[in-house]
Copies of this chain bind each other. A is one copy, B any other.
Amino acid sequence: MNIGIIGVGRIGKVHTESISKYVKDVKIKSVYNFIWDDATVEWANSMGLTERCDDYHQILQDPDIDAVLICTSTDTHAKISLEAIEANKHIFCEKPVDHDIKQIIAVKNALDGKNIKYQVGFNRRFDANYRAIRVAIEDDKVGKIYLMTITSRDPAPPSIDYIKVSGGLYLDMAIHDFDMVRYLSGEEVVEVYAAGSVLIDKAIGAEGDIDTSIVTLKLASGALAVIDNSRKSVYGYDQRAEVFGSKGSVMIGNNTKSSIVMSNDSGVTKEKPLHFFLERYMLAYAEEIQAFIHAVKSDTPTPVTITDGLNAVIIAKAAQLSYRENRPVALQEIMP
């Protein structure tokens, strides 16, 4: 099986490296990037990627390529998805599929009736911690869900240039947490209330974005969920979650490089959490691509569908509206 990678910015590089390190029985045949600067060429050489192009249509038209990974900037995801569907390629598309719900629905409609595998890049679904919660819930260890809490804090804010095109904290960052609420609970969200604040960097606020947030979500069953987000955690990437129900609570904490604990005059100290998503989710990135390859090869459904991609964006849009108007927003308002 041959794949093409469309876009080798940060996340495209992650997938390329994780595939070449961990994923068997698949070959990266061709790689596209918008601009091939020296550093990117050098990186591609170091990965043994000799077939390079600056027009991704070459990849879409290559009959030897079975599947593509869309890792370009968000504003191109839907367009390339539609073209790739047209070209009959299986598609792994990074999150979010688009900032515009109509565009995502267009992709969803284009997939209808075609046997094309489409997977959205919600990598946390493939992480051992979150999966352990999901398994516990499936095994009825939690009982009826009462409350969920998700903590998701980045070590440092992205550049203001990135903030400008990011779609804002809810579409860019919290979207993973919105997907986790759906994934862990197995339920749909019906209403959202988002409180946001600019506490870290006024420049973020100047772009109309926020850097600190608490979102309350009401689920279909009446269960309540809350997500706290921050763009700046000095101790590293903070990725915790708890689901609490009638039979008890399951929670996950942060991962560290080692289990070392030092006791000295300053206290009893563990390592900081792994620094950021690359360190923290390296294995999850590999597993999500393996799951995609598996779905293609075995002709089974992908574990993260276009509907999952759509619903997370709907929640994010509802959170945006809620923050802007300072009122709870029912998801029905957002759905087209």
Residues of A within 8 A of B (CB): 21-22, 128-129, 131-133, 136, 141, 144, 146-147, 149, 151, 153, 193, 195, 197-200, 212-214, 216, 218, 221-226, 228, 230, 232-235, 238, 244, 246-255, 257-273, 326-328
A261 touches B272 (CB 8 A): no
A218 touches B232 (CB 8 A): no
Partner of A212, one of B146, B253, B255, B261: B146
A234 touches B265 (CB 8 A): yes
Closest 5 CB pairs of A and B: A248-B264, A132-B258, A132-B260, A235-B263, A267-B269
Q: List 21 A-B contacts (CB under 8 A).
A: A129-B258, A132-B259, A141-B262, A141-B264, A144-B199, A147-B228, A149-B151, A195-B216, A199-B221, A199-B222, A199-B246, A233-B244, A234-B265, A235-B268, A248-B264, A250-B260, A251-B263, A252-B261, A253-B259, A268-B270, A269-B270
Partner of A216, one of B199, B216, B222, B244: B216
In the complex, how many angstroms separate the beta carbon of A245 from the nearest chain B beta carbon? 9
Assembly CA distance A270 to B129 (angstroms): 12
